[in-house]
A and B are shown apart, each in its own frame.
Chain A
Amino acid sequence: METTSRQFKQLSLDALANATLQNSLDGVREIMPRIRTAALAERGDFEALCDRAQEIRDRAIRQLDTHLEEFERRVQAAGGTVHWAATGEEACQIVVQICRDVGASQLIKSKSMVTEEIELNDALEQDGFAVTETDLGEYIIQLRGEKPSHILAPSLHVTLEEVAETFVEHHDIERSAPLTDATEMLAEARSIMRDKFLQADVGITGANFLVAETGAVVIVTNEGNADLTASLPDTHIVVTGIEKAVPTLDDVGVLLRVLARSAIGERLSNYTTFVQGPRRAGEATGPENYHVVLVDNGRSKMLGTEFQDMLRCIRCSACLNHCPVYTAIGGHAYGSVYSGPMGAVLTPAFAGLPAAVHLPNASTFCGRCEAVCPVRIPLPSLLRRWRQRELNARPATDGQRIGLGLWRGLNRWPPLYNFAVRLAAIVLRSLSVPGRGGQRWIRRLPLVGAAWTDFRDLPAPTGHTFQDEWRRRKS
């Protein structure tokens, strides 16, 4: 997986200085937690559903071999073909070969993070195929030559004005007035896409779940583009990760309940599609060729390791929407198609720790990601494990060694620790000024403290210590 995660620090600074991006991220911060909370309120059993969802995903990945074999058997029985790809490159080759075999030229795709991960579009275009993304957000970033900045809303960083500019630049349409209205933009995209849908030779989709019980591929969208992608062209190719398999339809029901609520604050997405093979005898339409490409690309290597829990992920994006780091810098700063807390755990696993070492460090461990995760992935613990691996892999920097050495020294001498903490509380208090919220704030700190105060104020301590308070309340 190609990443630019090494430039995380510079990309984050750029993102913080980007006013239009900050505006979009304000929207995520304000809207997404609110609509999720509202959707949960009506389900008194949401916590029980999450317990069950965790149990389902945990059991599924522990028996992945059984479920994948059963799924494969069912797909084959229905007349489909299952392919196995160890790497992203292999998966791309398989898809390219299928497209060649059916003599395709025009391809349509519905949104899929796995195909972003393996850079399928690049491989297809290099081979001369014309690929059109049909999810509107993916289509916008495809025209702009950009990567997704959010796993669910890939064009989150693009403003409506920028969408209009992009459409004017790429759409060969006579306009009597400037393009400003979102409804007109939608009508324009819909009309252009209709032709693409009707002309396409191959439709490529991802999958949200693979069901061993029926051999179904489950695809969730709001636009309905996956349904057209899966039903109009003569060939349908599903590209998906091996970890998506679950045993039964009962499992899918529970997962769908937590997925849409966590993702977009809805009871269910507008379209949920179960595909169970190619066109049947007697049917006038539907794809004649049906292929499922199961992609490993680093997933099986996570099994049996401390990162196995990450394979439970159902890509809802709640952890991104609730992350103070993601909502400050957006997805592109992560330099990986997977961003936010889930991306900071997955990217080192897929691209290697040296390439992505900054990502697990970009967390305050505030724990909101774990609190909102519908399959209860212990994201902060997994980030901490990457940091441990980083420390084991290379010597600490001078700064880390001195800092941790001082901290250790203080902790070994309680009287010294107590004195230092009391002194710090008084000194910090004296540096503070009254500010918003009736609180005192520190505007500027010297030395390493400037790394904090250059970007935000530090809330001033009360002037006495936790231990003082403890003693006061006990007496």
Chain B
Amino acid sequence: MSPSTATRASILNAIRRARAGADAVPDAPAAYQTPAALLGGIEQFCAYAGEEAATSERVERMDDVPSAVLRYVTGQDLAMRVVVGADLELDAAAWATAQALQRVSGPVERDGDTLVTGCYAGVAEAGALIMLSSSGEPNEAKFLAATHIAVVRAADIVPTFEALWTRLRGDFTDQWPRTMNWIVGPSRTADLGVPSKLGAHGPGRVHIIIVDA
């Protein structure tokens, strides 16, 4: 037996010895149910994301996204270069309506760029964006970018964590994605006094575009 195997066995045995003398463990109760009064939708999602310093807007169709990106970039006085993550729906959007944007597919540069990505889901109870790693998009881009514009479909915004688990379990039966990142507003730190300072390591700006159709 290798030292590691022996250690593994001794730790597991110590746990089992303690367990042997204890009462049987009851079965797990059914998943937690959030009281109906606390359940929210898109408005709650936007309000809670807003309280964490994210901004949001709603557009009708995916084809409205490019012009919304252009408006945001112009309004914030950012560079016209935007890195657009690999997302079939985003790729298919009407980018011709935003000619002024210099659209590239990556990578995000060292000192930050504006990154536009799709999202797997949004969770209303926390104002959280849910992102999954994919083969087309470097996962670290979401954290290296200076500005993150996240596009989420209204239908993908779920009320609770439990609703998210249900969707994930439906979509991934065998192998889970390598990483799942939940993002609530810009990166921040409380280590340099109160209030927190934005843009610690990750993006200093997070803008959410909700697509209704």
Q: Which residues of A contact B (CB under 8 A)?
A: 27, 31, 43-45, 49, 52, 55, 59, 62-65, 68-69, 78, 83-86, 90, 94, 134-137, 140, 153, 155, 160, 163, 182-183, 185-186, 190-191, 193-194, 197-198, 214-216, 222-225, 227-228, 230-232, 242, 247-250, 252-254, 256-257, 264, 266-280, 282-286, 294, 296, 300-301, 303-304, 308
Contacts and interface: CB of A to CB of B under 8 A. Distances in A.
Given A222-B189, A273-B180, A286-B178, A190 B201 contact: yes
Contacts of A227: 139-140, 142-143, 181, 202
Contact of A223 (B52, B160, B161, B201): B201
Nearest to A303: B18
A303 B182 contact: no
10 contacts: A44-B37, A90-B7, A194-B111, A223-B200, A231-B143, A249-B168, A271-B184, A276-B180, A277-B178, A303-B15
Interface residues of B, number: 74
A270 B184 contact: yes
A280 B162 contact: no
A58 to B, nearest CB: 9
Q: Which 4 A-B pairs have the closest CB atoms?
A: A224-B202, A304-B18, A253-B161, A303-B18
Contacts of B140: 227-228, 231-232, 285
A222 B192 contact: no
B148 to A, nearest CB: 10
B26 A59 contact: yes
A202 B135 CA distance: 22
B150 to A, nearest CB: 14
B135 A273 contact: no
Given A193-B201, A286-B133, A52 B184 contact: no
A49 B32 contact: yes
Given A224-B200, A300-B11, 11 more contacts: A78-B175, A84-B11, A94-B4, A223-B200, A228-B201, A252-B161, A270-B52, A278-B178, A280-B135, A284-B135, A303-B18
B170 interface: no
A44 B35 contact: yes
A278 B140 CA distance: 14
B71 interface: no
B136 to A, nearest CB: 8
Contacts of B139: 227, 231, 285-286
Given A267-B127, A270-B185, A273-B179, A155 B200 contact: no
Interface in B35-55: 35, 37-38, 48, 52
B2 to A, nearest CB: 11
Contacts of A230: 179
A247 to B, nearest CB: 7
B29 interface: yes
B13 to A, nearest CB: 9
Given A285-B138, A286-B139, A268 B32 contact: no
A153 B190 contact: yes
A84 B4 contact: yes
Contacts of B192: 136, 160, 163, 182, 185-186
A110 B157 CA distance: 30
A250 B32 contact: yes
A308 B143 CA distance: 38
Contacts of A183: 197
Interface string B47-91: 010001000000000000000000000000000000000000000
Nearest to B138: A285
Contacts of A279: 178
Given A186-B200, A267-B125, A277-B178, A222 B188 contact: yes
Contacts of A155: 191
Contacts of A269: 184
B14 interface: yes
B118 interface: no
A223 B202 contact: yes
B191 A140 contact: yes
Contacts of A85: 7
A137 B126 CA distance: 25
A72 to B, nearest CB: 9
Contacts of A140: 191
A90 B6 CA distance: 12
A84 B22 CA distance: 24
Contacts of A222: 187-190, 196, 200
A264 B143 CA distance: 22
A268 B200 contact: no
Indicate the member of B127, B128, B182, B193 with the most A CB atoms within 10 Å.
B182
Contact of A264 (B26, B125, B128, B190): B190
A182 B193 contact: yes
A414 B170 CA distance: 70
Interface string B109-129: 011000000000000011110
Contact of B15 (A135, A253, A300): A300
A45 B202 CA distance: 33
Contact of B48 (A214, A267, A276): A267
Nearest to A211: B176
Contacts of B96: none
